[in-house]
């Protein structure tokens, strides 16, 4: 394939004209035509296009128009993937061009048009093993604006995300953030079908329990769903339980519609995970106090009795934690029955120790 001089000229004008929409559109059309020409040759080598995309990536340019166009190139490359010699490199560079500089903490302004060909991206990009490229893809598929929603088939990433358990390099903050966005959008139930134990291990490997990006209502609900449903919840690392209390205190008014489950208490008590049980008891009092009808004082008293019997010092910790969250989140309501139930359970535990 001859070097597309028209593309080079447009690229030069692009850098010299402060990325005008018109030149960007012409550049994208020329790129698409060049890709089509490459598929019509007997040996479709795309080295010139690779060079152009590399130059575009190195320019560190970013705009909503460029993001939209780069995502469109991905569709063209996927459609002709089997006959393009450099298809994977073209694909990864197109994703990098469109999404590498997008801030995961902000909503994307571009309007992405999802096509049936984009579905191929999942296996190609995840199998590349390139963490930043995977982050680019997840950035594209979890983004939304007033004119487009996240990729509707995002659940096809579930097995690929679980496969990240074997990812050797440490997760970069950007990679971690986009993985967690994807998990939040997909929801726990899809991961449970693949394997609850593997999902808990993935969460532990990610260590996604610090930073503002993990404090939203959606992430809090996902943690609650995971803890209420998973049979492996006792293996969820300790900082997640602390994060849950923090977020449950903040979002308690929004979480009341959820259904209470005694399942976590049983598992944590059986595993003798007393500190995790402490945090779960606080969460229950914040989200489902007995006065709400989901739980009873007797249910909570029995669990607290077991907790205080094994760890008497936790009573003071429990009271201090509740007092702390009441001060930091003055809108939450801790019923008077909390102190009464604590005292009854502690007194019974003390009597059992004496006996």
- Is residue 70 one of the residues assigned to a domain? no
Whether the per-residue pLDDT at 37 is higher than 70: the answer is: no
Give Cβ neighbours of residue 255 (< 8 Å, ≥ 6 apart): 220, 221, 224, 248, 287
Across 208-219, average pLDDT = 70
Angle at 299 between CA 295 and CA 300, to 5 degrees: 90
| Per-residue pLDDT at 35 | 65
CA atoms in the 13 A half-sphere facing the CB of 272: 3
The H or E element spanning position 148 is none
- Asked if 132 and 172 touch (Cβ cutoff 8 Å), the reply is yes
Residue that is written with structure tokens 């995971």 in the block: 226
Whether the per-residue pLDDT at 176 is higher than 80: the answer is: yes
Asked if 105 and 163 sit in the same domain, the reply is yes
Please give the Cα distance from 305 to 312 (Å, whole number).
10
Asked if 95 and 202 sit in the same domain, the reply is yes
Asked if 194 and 249 sit in the same domain, the reply is no
- Is 232 exposed, middle or buried, given 0-12, 13-18 or 19+ CB atoms closer than 10 A? middle
Percent of the chain with pLDDT over 70: 81
Asked if 148 and 255 sit in the same domain, the reply is no
Strand ranges for the chain from DSSP E: none
The number of domains in the chain is 2
| Per-residue pLDDT at 139 | 95
Asked if 249 and 295 sit in the same domain, the reply is yes
Asked if 278 and 159 sit in the same domain, the reply is no
- Is residue 168 one of the residues assigned to a domain? yes
| Per-residue pLDDT at 261 | 83
- Is residue 57 one of the residues assigned to a domain? no
| Per-residue pLDDT at 137 | 97
Whether the per-residue pLDDT at 328 is higher than 70: the answer is: yes
Asked if 175 and 257 sit in the same domain, the reply is no
What residues make up the domain containing 101?
Answer: 77-207
Q: Which of 161, 190, 207 is the last residue of a domain?
A: 207
Q: Which of 183, 207, 231 is the last residue of a domain?
A: 207
Asked if 178 and 249 sit in the same domain, the reply is no
Summarised one tens digit per residue, pLDDT across range 223-252 is 989 998 888 999 999 999 988 888 887 887
Whether the per-residue pLDDT at 7 is higher than 50: the answer is: no
Asked if 301 and 181 sit in the same domain, the reply is no
Asked if 81 and 203 sit in the same domain, the reply is yes
Across 134-141, average pLDDT = 96
Q: Which of 150, 184, 207 is the last residue of a domain?
A: 207
Please state the φ and ψ torsions of residue 288, each to the nearest 5 degrees. Answer: -130, 65
- Is residue 29 one of the residues assigned to a domain? no
Could you tell me the sign of the dihedral formed by the alpha carbons of 105, 183, 234, 201, in that order?
negative
- Is residue 278 one of the residues assigned to a domain? yes
- Is residue 61 one of the residues assigned to a domain? no
């Amino acid at each position: 394939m001859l070097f597309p001089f028209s593309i080079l000229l447009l690229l030069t004008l692009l850098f010299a004209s402060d990325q005008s929409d018109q030149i960007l559109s012409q550049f994208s059309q020329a790129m698409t035509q060049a890709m089509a020409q490459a598929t019509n040759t007997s040996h479709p080598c795309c080295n010139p296009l690779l060079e152009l995309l590399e130059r575009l990536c190195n320019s560190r340019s970013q705009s909503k128009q460029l993001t939209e166009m780069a995502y469109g190139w991905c569709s063209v490359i996927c459609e002709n993937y089997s006959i393009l010699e450099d298809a994977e490199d073209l694909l990864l560079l197109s994703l990098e061009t469109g999404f590498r500089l997008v801030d995961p903490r902000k909503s994307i302004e571009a309007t992405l048009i999802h096509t049936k060909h984009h579905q191929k991206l999942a296996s190609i990009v995840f199998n590349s093993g390139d963490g930043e490229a995977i982050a680019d893809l997840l950035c594209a598929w979890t983004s939304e604006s007033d004119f487009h929603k996240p990729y509707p088939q995002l659940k096809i990433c579930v097995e690929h995300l679980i496969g990240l358990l074997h990812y050797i390099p440490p997760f970069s903050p950007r990679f971690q953030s986009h993985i967690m966005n994807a998990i939040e959008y997909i929801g726990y139930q899809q991961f449970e079908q693949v394997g609850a134990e593997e999902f808990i291990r993935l969460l532990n490997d990610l260590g996604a329990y610090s930073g503002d990006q993990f404090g939203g209502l959606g992430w809090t609900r996902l943690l609650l769903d995971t803890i209420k449903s998973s049979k492996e919840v006792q293996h969820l690392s300790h900082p997640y339980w602390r994060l849950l209390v923090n977020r449950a205190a903040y979002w308690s008014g929004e979480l009341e519609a959820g259904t209470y489950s005694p399942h976590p208490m049983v598992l944590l008590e059986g595993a003798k995970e007393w500190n995790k049980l402490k945090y779960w008891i606080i969460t229950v009092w914040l989200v489902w106090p007995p006065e709400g009808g989901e739980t009873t004082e007797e249910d909570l008293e029995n669990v607290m009795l077991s907790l205080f019997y094994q760890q008497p010092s936790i009573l003071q910790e429990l009271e201090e934690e509740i007092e702390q969250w009441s001060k930091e989140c003055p809108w939450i309501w801790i019923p008077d029955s909390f102190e009464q139930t604590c005292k009854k359970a502690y007194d019974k535990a003390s009597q059992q120790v004496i006996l």
